[in-house]
Amino acid sequence: MNEPPKPAASDTSPGGARHAPDDRAGAGAAPAASGAGTVLELTRVEIAYGGIQAVKGIDLHVDRGELVCLIGANGAGKTTTLKGITGVERVKAGTIRFQGENVTGRPSFELVRKGLAMVPEGRGVFGALTIEENLAMGAYIRSDAAGIRSDIERVFDLFPRLKERRRQTAGTLSGGEQQMLAMGRALMSRPKMLLLDEPSMGLAPLMVQKVFETVRMVSAEGVTILLIEQNAKLALEVSHRGYVMESGAITLAGDAKKLLHDPAVRAAYLGEAAA
């Protein structure tokens, strides 16, 4: 129960595995089929608030090493989908599989133990604790002190700004730095997969750029990521594949670069006139 996590091919400890398909233009262009390397798979998932169907039977998958985004306008159902995955909202119909196991309706803490780490919207760092202490909190499911120490150093390698401020309380960090800390903290659990909920939310444009660069860097380390984002352009730029959600349904899916150049996506989400 308390033994240190075993390094595995799918282990995505900070700075650990490096098997990311980094050809963002070519990776996984077939959204309908999911293979043996599938980490997360949603099949015909439905979620309702009373009589209101917020998620209408969606299919979605994320393969090992992929960075996949779920984009869509305000109210499209992105957050509700995430809440369904993390067991916060009840899934009315359909199945959620994590590493092949049916985890539909399982509570968040159980999913974290299985290797699904979440970085919530609003970040949720502990303002009164130092950066180092926040990172250590991220490793609460582990008991390998030496491994934890070396992973903290790896997170600092990924985020040098945090290293400079390691003994500062998290409350003194800027919004973008807090977002980086939240990502670093999630990585401390040595997750198989990261769920990022709107990491650009509430950040100044320059910081938004930085945070997306960070997401890309973490992905390049081999971490499997599902990114929920309203900023369609930046999300598609850093992702391998994308799903577009509208009124609770997936309306488009596929290679992120193709979506970025899709006239319908450009018109609806990138503020361009339809061709």
Q: Residues interacting with ligand ATP, by CB under 6 A?
A: 49, 52, 54, 72, 74-80, 230
User: Which residues does 145 contact at the CB level (< 8 Å), separation at least 6?
Assistant: none
Taking the complex as a whole, how short is the minimal distance between the CB of residue 186 and ligand ATP, in angstroms? 20
Taking the complex as a whole, how short is the minimal distance between the CB of residue 78 and ligand ATP, in angstroms? 4
Nearer to ligand ATP by Cβ, of 78 and 165: the residue is 78
Taking the complex as a whole, how short is the minimal distance between the CB of residue 52 and ligand ATP, in angstroms? 6
Nearer to ligand ATP by Cβ, of 52 and 128: the residue is 52
Nearer to ligand ATP by Cβ, of 135 and 211: the residue is 211
Taking the complex as a whole, how short is the minimal distance between the CB of residue 233 and ligand ATP, in angstroms? 15
Taking the complex as a whole, how short is the minimal distance between the CB of residue 31 and ligand ATP, in angstroms? 19
Taking the complex as a whole, how short is the minimal distance between the CB of residue 5 and ligand ATP, in angstroms? 32
Nearer to ligand ATP by Cβ, of 72 and 115: the residue is 72
Nearer to ligand ATP by Cβ, of 52 and 146: the residue is 52
Nearer to ligand ATP by Cβ, of 13 and 79: the residue is 79
Cα distance between residue 246 and residue 75, in whole Å: 8
The answer to whether 170 touches 182, Cβ cutoff 8 Å, is no
